[in-house]
Structure 1
Amino acid sequence: MSAAVLPHPGARTGLRPSDPHLAGRPRITAVGTAVPATSYTQAEILDVFGIQDPKVRSVFLNSAIDRRHLTLPPPGEDGTRRPEEQGALLAKHKAQGVEVGTRALRDCLDAAGADPADVGYLCCVTSTGFLTPGLSALIIKEMGLDPRCQRLDVVGMGCNAGLNGLNAVSGWAVANPGRLAVLLCDEACSAAYVFDGTMRTSVVNSLFGDGAAAVAVTAGPTAGPGPRLIGFGSYLITDAIDAMRYDWDDAHGRFSFFLDPQVPYVVGAHAETAVDALLERYGLRRSDIAHWTVHAGGKKVVDSVAVNLGLTRYDLRHTTGVLRDFGNLSSGSFLFSHRRLAEEGTALPGEYGVMMTMGPGSTIETALLRW
């Protein structure tokens, strides 16, 4: 006889079904994901670029990442791969953003039982290139969405931006009950790399992978199943505003990502403040949270957040699993983790979840969910 599955203690505290905070709140009804066709192990990437420096190799091979989907520079006549110029990188961002983004959006709509014509609002988030018109317009044209579809492009906010975009999508869904709003996080991190052999760029190059994730959100009595999005929180660590940045590198004639070595510890040290501020608004404590969806920013970041929030390996199983299988997917990482949680089917009615993303600023974004 199998043991009964008991709800997490958080299902019996905090908000009640009749609580006004729950009334009209939107639901996540489906998630879709997509990645490029080509993928590489960390060792294969080192071999492709002929990297022999033992310190750089150690960074790659001790990253807790097994494989990443990437679109590497094409090999030259001699078989070596040379870094692309900025124009080629921007072209890669556009081409891959449209191709992988449309696949993720179709996957999401299929899971939601919806058609492209049903999308009333599309928010596209990216930090791996700049386009005008943005990805939202290109994808509306590519997929044949209703040209009256309202849209928003969030560009350059970084890895945290998925929750910033989800906040906007949630607000639109509440204002338009019964209509479908979609967030698409679409990142071609291969279009944001600089290869110069330094430890600074090597740390960045060892982390990021390409991929897109879309999430469908609806509000109102016909919203269907899925967790409610109760509220959002944001915390800007102003003392570390330059610790993560993506800006112009004169030495290489292209944009380059900078990551301060102290970032994991800075983010971890402020994780409690950010999460507790969100939970206090709804009369909850960390012990009330059954499910944690944390951005797969890197092994040190995840470990630091775990220590400071008192989270277990089980709490972060989907975060570490996504990091292992895809690397850091920037703004869409948390949606890859949420999809795994949804497919696992362990969340019970009344249980709470917290989503948490981290990025440049330095910024911590949070969201509270209830099943």
Structure 2
Amino acid sequence: MTTTATDPARIIGVGTAVPANSYSQQEILDIFAVRDPRVRSLFLNSAIERRYLTLPPEGPDGSRVMEVQGELLAKHKAQAVDMGVRAVQACLKEAGADLADIGYVCCVTTTGFLTPGLSALVIRELGIDPHTSRLDVVGMGCNAGLNALNAVNGWARANPGRLALMVCAEACSAAYVFDGTMRTSVVNSLFGDGSAAVALVAGETAGVGVGAHDGARVPGGAGAPGEAPAAEGPQLLKFSSYIITDAIDAMRYDWDDEQERFSFFLDPHVPYVVGAHAELVVDRLLDGTGLRRSDIDHWLVHSGGKKVIDAVGVNLGLTRHDLRHTTSVLRDYGNLSSGSFLFSYQRLLEEQVAQPGDHGVLMTMGPGSTIETALARW
């Protein structure tokens, strides 16, 4: 069937990856011999049970050796490439696609700086066609997954039938400062390491592979040459963004002269600021669609932290059931930054409850302060 640039893009695959080692909050407190009752309370009342992390190495006395900034950047590079590659492989397997099908790669990260970007390293590591178009989104924070997905969606729609890939790879343990202060402890109690990849194809058939004009294979399953099978993933119908400029310093990286490394800052009022504006951006997303919030069947909200989730839920009138994947991802992984919402999306797929015609809202929040949303339809 003929496709055009106006056809919606559809998600046809998702994959995730984490480091080898996970720790309970109590185990982390024990490893770093944290005795401060205020810090312990942060960890133990976070609604997080376990996180996957790459902790500093042990010294001769068994204590953890504090890494310098250069070592943290090296950790970020190693972990982001390793997790990113495994997430891509899992994503392609679910989509029924091969590396040769990829026409576009967008990599997202905030937990370290690389030149060349992560996309170049992932392309080299996997042996993806070096002619593949690519983009790196760096430093946007937890909201960046939907910022980038909007760009990937645009490429997919402009190149119907070709596979576009987004990879979020966040080695949050490469951005920690262990100085015992409440400021750094808030961050240390919350974030985990993880990567998520998602594959998009635009067009009514949502599945003709890269180079379909010359008879290339079809991602998504078997089919006649040049004819794509029907895809079951949701179409991305619309995106909406809002940046709360009055709170631009509420989430940020600062250089810490005393520690000689970057340190992430989270304003304690962030949950309430984000929650207070959630209704505004969601209503704008649904404006003109004929849908109300009560018509949304699935909510996939960033696992930003217990207070953030509660604030968004209250302001949007969402139930615990609506936010079950958001809270379970926070419980099992912590805040995974830009890729968190895709871990929730994967859990929704595993439930096998989404039906044709269902609508879903994807929401991420992060520095700016920013709220990003997308409307999807199965």
Alignment of 1:210-229 (within 5 A): 210-223=193-206, 224-229=231-236
Give the superposition deviation at 1:71: 0.1
Give the superposition deviation at 1:251: 2.1
Alignment of 1:1-371 (within 5 A): 24-223=7-206, 224-371=231-378
Letter in 2 for 1:341: L
In the alignment, structure 2 segments of 5+ residues that lack a partner are: 207-230
The alignment's C-alpha RMSD in Å is: 1.0
In the alignment, structure 1 segments of 5+ residues that lack a partner are: 1-21
Give the superposition deviation at 1:117: 1.4
Q: Secondary structure at the match of 1:68?
A: strand
Q: Secondary structure at the match of 1:137?
A: helix
Letter in 2 for 1:65: I
Give the Cα–Cα distance (whole angstroms) in 2 for the partners of residues 302 and 335 of structure 1: 16
Give the superposition deviation at 1:82: 2.5
Give the superposition deviation at 1:348: 1.1
Give the superposition deviation at 1:161: 0.1
Report if aligned partners of 2:305, 2:330 keep a CA contact under 8 Å in 1: yes
Q: Deviations over 1:311-367 (max 9, x none)?
A: 000000000000000000000000000011011111111111000000000000000
Q: Deviations over 1:134-173 (max 9, x none)?
A: 1100000000001011000000000000000100110000
Give the Cα–Cα distance (whole angstroms) in 1 for the partners of residues 288 and 96 of structure 2: 34
Report if aligned partners of 2:240, 2:281 keep a CA contact under 8 Å in 1: yes
Give the Cα–Cα distance (whole angstroms) in 2 for the partners of residues 172 and 237 of structure 1: 27
User: Which residue in the other structure is 1:13 paired with?
Assistant: none
Give the Cα–Cα distance (whole angstroms) in 2 for the partners of residues 183 and 128 of structure 1: 17
Report if aligned partners of 1:178, 1:221 keep a CA contact under 8 Å in 2: no
Report if aligned partners of 1:230, 1:368 keep a CA contact under 8 Å in 2: yes
Give the Cα–Cα distance (whole angstroms) in 1 for the partners of residues 203 and 374 of structure 2: 20
Letter in 2 for 1:128: T
Report if aligned partners of 1:59, 1:203 keep a CA contact under 8 Å in 2: yes
Give the superposition deviation at 1:234: 0.4
Letter in 2 for 1:113: G
Post-superposition, which runs of at least 4 consecutive aligned residues in structure 1 deviate over 2 A?
none
User: Which residue in the other structure is 2:211 paired with?
Assistant: none
Give the superposition deviation at 1:221: 3.1
Give the Cα–Cα distance (whole angstroms) in 2 for the partners of residues 115 and 141 of structure 1: 15
Give the superposition deviation at 1:23: 5.9
Give the Cα–Cα distance (whole angstroms) in 1 for the partners of residues 173 and 102 of structure 2: 29
Give the superposition deviation at 1:247: 2.5
Give the superposition deviation at 1:236: 0.3
Report if aligned partners of 1:135, 1:153 keep a CA contact under 8 Å in 2: yes
Letter in 2 for 1:56: V
Report if aligned partners of 1:29, 1:217 keep a CA contact under 8 Å in 2: yes
User: Which residue in the other structure is 1:7 paired with?
Assistant: none
Report if aligned partners of 1:244, 1:257 keep a CA contact under 8 Å in 2: yes
Moved more, 339-348 or 218-227: 218-227
Q: Secondary structure at the match of 1:152?
A: strand
Give the Cα–Cα distance (whole angstroms) in 2 for the partners of residues 162 and 307 of structure 1: 23
Letter in 2 for 1:274: V
Give the Cα–Cα distance (whole angstroms) in 1 for the partners of residues 248 and 173 of structure 2: 24
User: Which residue in the other structure is 2:214 paired with?
Assistant: none
Give the Cα–Cα distance (whole angstroms) in 2 for the partners of residues 129 and 31 of structure 1: 23
Give the superposition deviation at 1:284: 1.8
Quick one: percent identity of the two aligned structures?
A: 74
